[in-house]
Amino acid sequence: MLRRLVAVSLCVISSAAVADTLDINLSNSAAQFKYSMVSGIAGKSELFGSFMYNDANSLLGEAGLLVMNEEGSLPGLSLGVGAKAVVSSLNKIAPSRKMVSGVALGAQVRYEIPADRRFAFVGEYHYAPKIISFGDSERYYQGAVRAEYAVSALTQAYIGYRTTKFYLANQSPCVLDNGPHIGVKLSF
């Protein structure tokens, strides 16, 4: 009986320590769904995959790795670097859809207010220059800022601003999303 209790306790503790996250966010013109899980690849890291759909029927898929490090000299500050592969099917470009892709390098800054760890501010930026952009893509970039509030230990709500664009050869930029968005992150 004691062995079963210990085994069940270890399973519960390990599942709480390795929490997966589902992030759902909406803007006026786009919806994004992101799934991330803790990874043991390097320090405090996470693997993620996401899917975005916008009102122009363009699609964006992402998969990547983000490695975070808490700065000891400033409580609440975390800095991260990472990379992600992006693939997009852009609608209303030329006579038909265009497939573009790239490998974007990025960074993230997160600051939790030390007096109340329920509030946090996050900024992130990803960029793929021409050398690692494919199809008719000249470059890709995504920038976002958001303010988060922890409703509970496993639920965060946030509001932010995001811009996601592909720059195409001999054409104006294709904007997948540009504007404010709201979202919720659920950990399980």
Domain boundaries, the chain: 2-187
pLDDT (tens digit, 9 = 90+) per residue, 108-139? Answer: 999 999 888 899 999 999 999 999 999 989 99
> Residue 167's closest CA among 55, 96, 86?
86
Q: Going by C-beta distance under 8 Å and a sequence separation of 6 or more, which residues neighbour residue 19? A: 38, 154, 187, 188
Lowest mean pLDDT among 3-12, 66-75, 96-105: 3-12
Residue 94 pLDDT? 66
| 43: confidence class by pLDDT, cuts 50, 70, 90 | confident
* 157 alpha-carbon distance from chain centroid: 14
- Contact between residue 140 and residue 106 where contact means Cβ atoms under 8 Å apart: no
Contact residues for 85 (Cβ-Cβ < 8 A; gap 6+) = 62, 63, 64, 101, 102, 103, 104
Amino acid (one-letter) located at 87: V
Q: Where are the beta strands (DSSP E) in 28-118?
A: 30-39, 44-54, 59-70, 77-93, 96-112
Has residue 72 got a pLDDT over 90?
A: no
Of residues 6 and 161, the one with the higher pLDDT is: 161
Helices (H), the chain: 2-17
Structure token pair of residue 59: 């699609």
Q: 172 pLDDT band (50/70/90 cuts)? A: confident
Band of pLDDT at residue 16, cut at 50, 70 and 90: very low
pLDDT tens, residue by residue, 28-42: 999 999 999 998 887
Residue 92 is predicted with a pLDDT of 75
For residues 141-165, give the mean pLDDT.
97
Correct CATH for 2-187 of 1.10.3470, 2.40.128, 2.60.40, 3.30.360:
2.40.128
In the block, residue with structure tokens 């760890």: 117
